[in-house]
Amino acid sequence: MQANSPWLLLLLIPWGYFVWRMIASTARLQGSRKAAVITIRAIIMLLLIAIAAQLQPFWTLSERNVVFIADRSSSVQADEALGQWIAKAMAGKDDEDMGGIVTVGLDAAVERALSKDALRSEDSYTFRAVVNDQFTDLSQGLRLSSGLLQQAGGGRIVLLSDGAENAGSMLRQAAMLKSAGIEVDVVPITPPQVTDAAIESFDVPSTLRQGEKYNFEFTITSTTAGSGELRLYGDNIELTRSVIQLEAGENRFALQSAALDPGFHQFRAELFTDGDEREQNNEAYAFSKVSGPPGVLIVEGEPGSSANIEAAMDASFIRHETIAPERLSVELASYAAYDSIILHNVPATRIAEKPMEWIAKAVSDYGIGLVMIGGNDSFGLGGYFKTPVERALPVYMDLKGKRQIPSLGLVLVIDRSGSMSDGKLELAKEAAMRTVELLREEDTVGVVAFDSSPWWVVEPTKLTNREDVISKIQGIQPEGGTEIFTAVQEAYNELLEMQTQRKHIILLTDGQSASNPGYKTLTDAMVEKQMTMSTVAVGDGADQTLLQQLAKDAKGRYYFTKDESTLPAIFSRETVMMSRAYIVEQTFTPQIGQAGDWSALWKNGIPQLNAYVATTAKETAEVALLSPEGDPILARWPYGSGRAVAWTSDMTGRWSREWTAWPEMPKMLTEWIKWTFPQFESTPYSVQAELEGRKADIRIRAEGGEGDYSTKLTAVINNAVGDTKILEPVPVAPGEYKASLPINEPGVYLMRIGGGENAAGGAAAGTTAGFVIPYSPEYRLLTHDNGADTLKQLAEATGGSVLAYDRPQDAFGFAPERMRQRFDWSRHLFVTALLLLLLDIAMRRLSLPWTAWGKWLHSHLAFARKQSNEAAQAASSASVLSVSRLQQRKSRAASFFENDNDRPAASAKENVKRTQEVIHNVSQQETVKPQPTAPARHEESDSSAAPKPDSNEKVNRLLAAKNRTRR
């Protein structure tokens, strides 16, 4: 018996006093009823004291408890063999023995709880639990198995593994197992032999100078000899392919290269060999940062339109590269190779979703600069409303109600046929919702969704309840065929009724119309009623010829896109294009605003401008130059770790002829761009990462070991797919910091390290670094002999043994252990106390004839005993009578034969007759059953002899009953 709170047993002292008080002072109850109530109450209090003190008894068991741990990591790959071994071991246990199964990889799971039941099959066990097999953490399995055994009172663990752990430590777990009295037996498993070649290491200098020569160094391990092909990629561009000859064992190779382009570069190596059975170890990653002149990426909307910008860069010896927007990389690391990005009159409709996100992230997280230069395809006219690029720029794309804009009636005609179900309809709905957000309350909007027939999702209405319109758009679902003409005709009819200054239709579809009536009549009517229609063809399945002709005939614009992620930008651009107020065409001299250090650029005057794109400056932006209406012409601001500049006029001379001819223009443009270059701290950092299971331990060290414990760092980390994680490294030594990062995939990770956080929540201005996460060590081609040694050490540390693989029956070969198992009876005690409490209440409160019931029970018990005695006496009398009758029959028979000898001989007939008479007489006597004797009962026949109770006695009996009721 064990009490977890033994001090509560002191309550037995007041319990004894309380029982004594009840015996001495309970006057309302008398006799056996009082004794019963006091006994019940005493028992209830004893039960409650036992519950409060957590008094628990022990069961003594004699059995064997074994938990099998199966290592199912990729290095073992022997699920079938492990299942067979465990099944044979379980078949050898006794009926009272208990067996359980735990499976382990990086994590652990219970396959089968401890149970006395046998497995369904004695030949093999099939594993069902799913674990991460990319790592081996045997300590997880040992910890889980230990918990199962401790609940059962103890036992043993049998570990089947190759011992090649690469996360956690089973030897550290051994000390806790030994203290718990749990022994671990081990069964070393030899991993299967596979044909495999792996890139064990890939080394590139982390920092280089421009023009410096360096080597790519590879270490490749192979299980067999043969040839292979090694491919090398830099920034996702293939650099070289090399045919290599491999020998069994370790092979080393080197490729020479030169650092040509400054910036951050990532590299990937891939190995291909014949018969390779494991592909997870065929890739390796590296990175290098090449120092040199700053680099600028120019993205131009019109080919050859960036000559003025390129000339300014050349004059300042700034390295630059000019590309079309379609060539923007989908890899975030590619943008770290530049110091600034210039978007020169580029519409958002030509920038895919991922590059749009990476540009904004490169500015906010890695300090890359951003400059947007205007034109008729830039800012709001380019469709940048509510895009990541707008968030990074110092201006809003809409006008925030600063000037009167012609009222607009807009109908969106959206294809909702079945072919739009693969994500296109969701983006079309996003585009429609962004359009609704861009419109003003004075504008009127309607939405028609069509399949085989049109359906008005939103009847034409003014945007006084914008949220209701957006909610209805979200409810569009794909179904049906495609019928374009009737949907456009419905939109035309509704536009006729609208009282707006401008009327426009946007038609979006990805298919062919079921019918093709005369569209010319309809488009001519639109032109006559001063309506316009733009069309959007999505994918190669759309009727591009029809849509292009419709846009031309209806004086609108035609868009074709294979990337549906650009649909929101297309709709935004169309909505803005309907208001020519966004292009302000007038000749004026910009006014100087918050120019700061740029004021010196205009000390000799400012040339005139002829036009610009109207925008709205953001609240914290610095507006260096303004228009007469107060619109920003040149604005700048910091965004996250980087900086951004907006020039709302152009650089081709169409709107800024005097500016492009101004001799100071190249110098001034260079100053704008240089202002956006990354602002590095004087002390850079080096980063090292080590993979440990699901996480990477990252160490950051200030070059030269400078720094102190008080310096706070913030690190923003991005992986290859752009996922962002913000860490706060902990100082572990002067100038050294440590952080932990959850890891899902191998590859090159970018890190922006700075002191503290900026306004955007990322790292403040600092330095860009990187680190490499290799593939899991589970796939390395290393010998596992050290694993067998570690398993042996685990067995010795816990008092276990090494079991032979060919003798699974030895798993239950140890002597049974006598184990004490606690039994929690709190619930039973509580239920018993509750039932006794109800009985106590009944005996004290209910007016029941308890005494009469007791007498009745006693009399019935006495009567039962009397009946039993009488039955025994009757049986004894019957036995005596039977013996007496037998003696009488014998005497009569003797007398008969004696008398026969004295009489003369008679005839045979007379003898027979006399014999029959004797037999008859005897039979008659036997049929008369004697009645058992019983004590005589004397009952009074005269009822009047018993005295009747008088009236006083009746009254007394009623009073006594009433008193009992009160009690």
* 351-407 pLDDT tens trace: 988 899 999 988 988 889 999 999 988 998 888 988 999 999 999 988 775 566 678
- Counting residues of the chain whose pLDDT is more than 90, the rounded percentage is 32
The 8 Å CB, 24+ separation contacts for 488-493 are 488/413, 488/519, 488/522, 488/533, 488/550, 489/522, 490/448, 490/454, 490/456, 491/411, 491/413, 491/446, 491/448, 492/522, 492/525, 492/526, 492/531
The per-residue pLDDT for 703 is 62
Q: Residue 895 pLDDT > 70, yes or no?
A: no
Q: How much is the pTM?
A: 0.57
pLDDT score at 61: 60
Percentage with pLDDT > 70 across the chain: 81
Residue 947 has pLDDT above 50, yes or no: no
Question: What pLDDT does residue 884 have?
Answer: 61
Task: Give 14: exposed, middle or buried? Use CB within 10 Å, 0-12, 13-18, 19+.
Answer: exposed
Count CB neighbours of 911 within 10 A: 12
| Residue 203 confidence (pLDDT) | 92
Q: What was the pLDDT predicted at 944?
A: 39
How far apart, in whole angstroms, are the C-alpha atoms of residue 163 and residue 789?
A: 8
Q: How many Å apart are CA 399 and CA 357, to the nearest integer? A: 24
Mean pLDDT of 437-466: 88
661-682 average pLDDT score: 84
Residue 650 has pLDDT above 90, yes or no: yes
Tens of pLDDT along 468-514? 999 999 888 888 888 889 899 999 999 998 888 889 999 998 878 77
pLDDT (tens digit, 9 = 90+) per residue, 229-243?
A: 999 999 888 999 999
Q: Over the stretch 67-88, which tens digit does the pLDDT of each residue have?
A: 999 999 988 888 999 999 999 9
pLDDT of residue 874: 60
pLDDT above 60 for 900: no
pLDDT value of position 336? 81
The mean pLDDT of the chain is 82
Q: Looking at the predicted structure, is the pLDDT value of residue 248 above 60?
A: yes
Most confident of 202-211, 797-806, 893-902: 797-806
CA distances 526 to 458, 461, 491, 521, Å, are 21, 20, 11, 9
Q: Among 18-27, 447-456, 516-525, 698-707, whose mean pLDDT is lowest?
A: 698-707
Confidence band for 322, pLDDT divided at 50, 70 and 90? very high
Indicate the pLDDT class of residue 897, thresholds 50, 70 and 90.
very low
CA 65 to chain centre: 34
Res. 626: pLDDT tops 90: yes
What pLDDT is attached to residue 766? 62
3-class SS letters over 642-695:
EEEEEECCCCCCCCCHHHHHCCCHHHHHHHHHHHCCCCCCCCCEEEEEEEECCE
- Position 56 pLDDT exceeds 60: yes
So what's the pLDDT on residue 311? 92
**What pLDDT, in 10s, does the model give residues 855-874?**
666 676 666 666 656 655 66
| pLDDT score at 882 | 52
pLDDT of residue 159: 95
Q: What pLDDT does residue 682 have?
A: 43
